[in-house]
Amino acid sequence: MSGSEMIVQILADQGVNVIFGYSGGAILPTYDAVFRYNAAHINEDGSEPMPLIVPANEQGAGFMAAGYARASGHVGVVMVTSGPGATNTVTPVRDCMADSTPIVVICGQVPTNAIGTDAFQEAPVNSCLGPVAKHTFLVTDPQKLEATMRTAFEIARTGRPGPVVIDLPKDVQNWTGEFKGKGLLPVPGYRQRLHAARDNHLDDTKCAKFFGMLEASKRPLIYAGGGVINGNATGELRLFAERFKIPVTTTLMGIGAVDTTQPLSLHMLGMHGLASANYAVDDCDFLIAIGARFDDRVAGVPEKFAPGARNIAQFDIDPSEIGKVKAVDWFHVGVLRQDLHAICEYGERHRISPDFSEWHGEIQELKKTYALNYDRDSELIQPYAVIEAINDVTGGDAIITTGVGQHQMWAAQYFDYKHARLWLTSGSMGTMGFGLPAAIGAQFAARDHLVIDVDGDASIRMNLGELETATTYNLPVKVLVLNNYGDGMVRQWQKLFYGGRLSASDKSLRSKDFVKTAEADGFQYAVRLSDKKDLEKTVQEWLAFAGPAFLEVIIDPDAGVYPMVGPGLSYDQMITGDFIPARVKTTEEDIDGSSMF
């Protein structure tokens, strides 16, 4: 086989059923091999087994692969050319690293004898992508090509998942050699860490100490993060919470780890978390962190986070996260699924059944008293009402992707999520432009599922060219643009902390016609909604449309994201706005707005 044929065969062996990428000179041999493989292995229904999906640019390809990976739980694949093709993937690679999303990026490269000569479309991929990827490979020995490809997938999907980049010189792709069909690279340090986590089983002594803290508590609270979803431990977490009747709040990345419609769910905590969830963190006396990293959007001021907790326990697969931000009293580094199973099994065996009924009553009162709310009498369309109208139809079972900004937080707060892998957003990096390409990737992962991109007028501009990708492949994605004519989250901060000076954030003078743009890109349904009385009817029509559908909603430009925990403040000082009660009324004068966005 040629090197390019080996690459494609290994992709097939790894179960890859879609590739996102943009072609170019240095990757042409492998693109040709994909074409030939698909022609020789047509499915019974006439479809290609490994279609190449061409985006508007390589950043879009990266986010499509991320959306695919997040929705499916499998490794997403990106295939791009050298130079600008590779460097255009830097942002999605960093985004995937920050949110622990498994993708493999295959980059073409100039021939090995031209590397370092500033050849046409040459870029130092290892230097550019190495600092932001889980691992990078430059294949200069074609005899190691097979093993490198398989090892890349192993590293991407195992342990704490992440992006792996393979830099492939054109002469390695064109080389011909024997295909062995097996083999991995020796990466002993990595595998030792993997095995250390896998083999680190919870013993009875450690379980006994954990349950000693649980039985000594009256107000335990589970704080679950994206690690639960990445570790496919949703079922085990739900079983653990239900078995011992422990309320659960999740991070932005952990949304869907528990069914948000269930009584034990407090939905999201943190900077823009629900007031009830944040107050529960303040009130709890035993905090159980599972696959969560105490990041700045949640812990804020670490010494003020969970101030009433006498004990904190932490489960994680990454030893570097233990005690990194907040000191803990009990921890275990291991595989979440097996660890939560072991905890439940120990509790069953020892018939541990604590009574937290009083705490449950307090939780329900928090949820009732500090529920999300907004100005329901406003003549302007409120973004919260739009999401509630969509949620009434989808019932917590749609895949929701977002850009970044106010619309992202509204979607996190006001949608229900009954299952894992329904919520796809750029969390740690906060990358505008994520939503539309991620929705496209998610639709390939879940072809029969309703996929909705909730976007903002500023965020969708970043990758607006992917509207055409949706229609090119006739994907029934539903695109929603909540248009407040500007960078809403930036403007909210400017209004609160910068005297209302809207420096470079007010787009009201821009002339973009999103409906015409969508129509030009092939959307047969493209509607602008500006009248509140038409909201429910229009939303139902938009969701019911059989193909790609675009809806722009002109919303109240002054609608804000509340609650909001300002930088340097604890949860009991959060700003809840005019329609959500607060224990302590906090104003912008109490916040140092310059310390953190």
Could you tell me if residue 586 is inside a domain? no
Token look-up 């080389």 returns 175
pLDDT interval class at 588 (50, 70, 90) = low
Q: For residues 167 and 231, state if they share a domain.
A: no
Q: Let me know if residue 493 belongs to a domain.
A: yes
398 and 465 assigned to the same domain: yes
Contact 50, 8 (CB under 8 A): yes
Q: Is the pLDDT of residue 5 over 70?
A: yes
Domain end, chosen from 337, 369, 401, is at 369
pLDDT band (50, 70, 90) for residue 452: very high
105-132: string of b/e by CB count within 10 Å (b at 16+)?
Answer: bbbbbbbbeebeeeeebbbebeebbeeb
The domain total for the chain is 3
CATH number of 156's domain: 3.40.50.970
Axis-axis angle for helices 383-394, 406-414 (nearest 10): 40
Please pick, among 170, 367, 478, 507, the residue that the annotation labels catalytic.
170
- What distance in Å separates the CA atoms of residue 207 and residue 204, rounded to the nearest whole number? 5
Q: Is 58 a known active-site residue? A: yes
Residues 493 and 538 in one domain: yes
Average pLDDT over the chain, rounded to an integer: 96
Task: Write down the pLDDT at residue 273.
Answer: 97
What does the alpha-carbon distance between residue 112 and residue 98 come to, in Å, rounded to a whole number?
Answer: 31
Which residues, at least 6 apart from 386, have a Cβ–Cβ distance to it below 8 Å?
480, 482, 535, 539, 553, 555
Residues 344 and 415 in one domain: no
The answer to whether residue 568 sits within a structural domain is no
70: tokens are 């997040």
* Active site annotation includes 14: no
Give the least confident one: 40-54, 431-445, 559-573.
559-573
pLDDT of residue 355: 97
| Residue 504 pLDDT | 87
pTM of the model: 0.96
Closest CA to 204 of 102, 17, 47, 350: 350
71-127 residue pLDDT tens: 999 999 999 999 999 999 999 999 999 999 999 999 999 999 999 999 999 999 999
CA–CA gap between residue 190 and residue 188 (Å, rounded): 6
Q: Per-residue confidence at 511, pLDDT binned at 50, 70, 90?
A: confident
Q: For residue 423, which of 58, 44, 70, 14 has the smallest C-alpha distance?
A: 70
333 plus 416 within the same structural domain: no
Residue 119 lies inside a defined structural domain of this protein? yes
In a domain, 220, yes or no: yes
Give me the catalytic one of 432, 489, 564, 574: 489
Are residues 103 and 17 part of one domain? yes
In this structure, is residue 320 part of a structural domain?
yes
121 belongs to the catalytic site = yes
pLDDT at 359: 98
SS3 of residue 415 by DSSP: coil
Q: Are 50 and 16 in contact (CB under 8 A)?
A: yes
Residue 469 has pLDDT above 80, yes or no: yes
Beta sheet of 248-250, edge-to-edge order: 265-268, 248-250, 220-224, 286-290, 311-316, 330-333
Distance CA 507, CA 486 (A): 4
Q: Do residues 118 and 57 share a domain? A: yes
**Alpha-carbon span 325 to 295, nearest angstrom:** 7
Given the residues 9, 35, 50, 121, select the one marked as catalytic: 121
Structure tokens at 26: 């240095």
Judged by DSSP in three states, 527 sits in strand
The sign of the CA dihedral 55, 57, 61, 67 is negative
Containing domain of residue 440, as a range? 383-554
Q: Which of 189, 215, 250 is the last residue of a domain?
A: 189
- Select which of 6, 14, 20, 58 is catalytic: 58
| Residues 359 and 387 both lie in one domain | no
Q: Would you say residue 587 has pLDDT above 80?
A: no
d(CA 207, CA 203): 6
Residues 471 and 531 in one domain: yes
Answer yes or no: are the C-beta atoms of 491 and 501 closer than 8 Å.
no
Q: Any idea what the CATH number is for the domain that residue 352 is in?
A: 3.40.50.1220
The mean pLDDT value for 20-45 works out to 97
CA end-to-end span of the chain: 53
**Do residue 182 and residue 206 come from a single domain?**
no
- Give a yes or no: residue 596 inside a domain: no
Which DSSP state fits 81?
A: -
Q: Is 63 known to be catalytic?
A: no
113 and 233 assigned to the same domain: no
**pLDDT single digits (tens) 340-381:** 999 999 999 999 999 999 999 999 999 999 999 999 999 999
533/400 same-domain check? yes
Q: Would the pLDDT of 253 be above 80?
A: yes
Give the DSSP per-residue string, 262-275: STTEEEE-STTS-H
73/78 Cα distance (integer angstroms): 16
Asked about 245 being catalytic, the answer comes back as: no
The three-point CA angle 45-49-51 to 5° equals: 110
Whether the per-residue pLDDT at 508 is higher than 80: the answer is no
Q: Which among 306, 339, 369 is the end of a domain?
A: 369
Whether residue 585 is contained in a domain is answered as no
For 220-241, write each residue's pLDDT tens digit: 999 999 999 999 999 999 999 9
